[in-house]
Amino acid sequence: MVDKIADQEEDWYHYDFKSLKLLLAEIIRPNVSGETWKWLEAQSSAVSNGIQFNTAFASVPRKTGRSVISLSKDQPVQLHSLRPNLFVKHWTVDRLCRVWLLLCIHASGEKKYLQTFENFFLAAEMTELVALYSSLPLLAYPQHWRTRCIDGIRSNIGDVLQAIMCLNPYPSEQLNEQAWNQMVLKAFFTEKPVHQIIGLDERANPQLANTLADYADERFAAGRSVNPQLWRCVAKFIDERIFRNIKRIFNSENAVEREAAALACYDSHYPPALELLNSDNELKNLIETGRLTWETIAAKQ
């Protein structure tokens, strides 16, 4: 019977649910007081038995506070081994506790489970929505939440958008190309930390590159700059039209713009772009030795 339940959980969640849930509990416990941990254990038991979730979920911040969690050196590695691309280091303790409580809701009845979560999304206030959208990569029946994720991307609440867009593996794994492109565009429009979008390089595509090139043209025509990470998204699709702007920023007085242009050329298959990079041995050497990357550029922004 135990093996059968474990097999079902693997089907529902597509990762080692039991081990991850235990690991989250291990992370939570030293981040809260002993009294709060006892309260959380009692709430998790009640939630597992199908009672008092709404009250517990709403009460979490009053019990736990909102400080950023502390992790041991090994815990991020353990998280990634159980659920690839799961990042919680930047989470507050109430956010983590809420996600953990969400995982206490049993997934055996698919229809009831899905409706329960839909009701949560509809009734949630802002910090509750942050936890709910943070939980997307951990919920059962992951394909079901695509529409909910797209609806969240339409939000104008900055914290909600960041919870969906940044350090969250769900969009890159589940969204189709159109929805993915819309999310990346909105991340640029709303000035989110684009470099924290998981799958940004892997899901680059010609349509997104062309749309971002149009966006860059509009910004430059208005005398404004663009986020250097934009060129990361177009690098593989540089053509004659895009190359005009690459040459422009390659010769910019702004060092970060020059570096972004060099990286875009390095990632490109367009011969004139490769020739342009070869004209600056210093930048080329920085890239080839790993001292200039998209991450080093993000650190300067």
User: Model confidence over 44-56: pLDDT tens digits?
Assistant: 998 887 777 888 9
Which residue from 92, 89, 90, 100 is spatially nearest to 39, judged by alpha carbons?
A: 100
Both ends of the chain: CA-CA distance in Å? Answer: 54
Between CA 62 and CA 81 the distance in angstroms is: 32
Q: What is the mean pLDDT of residues 280-288?
A: 97
Between CA 152 and CA 129 the distance in angstroms is: 9
Q: What is the pLDDT of residue 3?
A: 45
Which residue from 20, 52, 50 is spatially nearest to 39, judged by alpha carbons?
A: 52
For the chain, what is the mean pLDDT? 94
Q: What is the pLDDT of residue 10?
A: 59
Structure tokens at 148: 């909910």
Buried-exposed string 5-36: b where 16+ CB fall within 10 A, e elsewhere: eeeebeebbebbbeebbebbbebbeebbeeeb
The pTM (predicted TM-score) of the whole model is 0.93
Decide: helix, strand or coil at residue 123.
helix
Q: What is the pLDDT of residue 108?
A: 86
Fill in the amino acid letter for 223.
G
Q: Does the pLDDT at position 284 exceed 80?
A: yes
Between CA 241 and CA 123 the distance in angstroms is: 47
Between CA 276 and CA 265 the distance in angstroms is: 7
Residue 9 binned pLDDT confidence (cut-offs 50, 70, 90): low
Between CA 161 and CA 163 the distance in angstroms is: 5
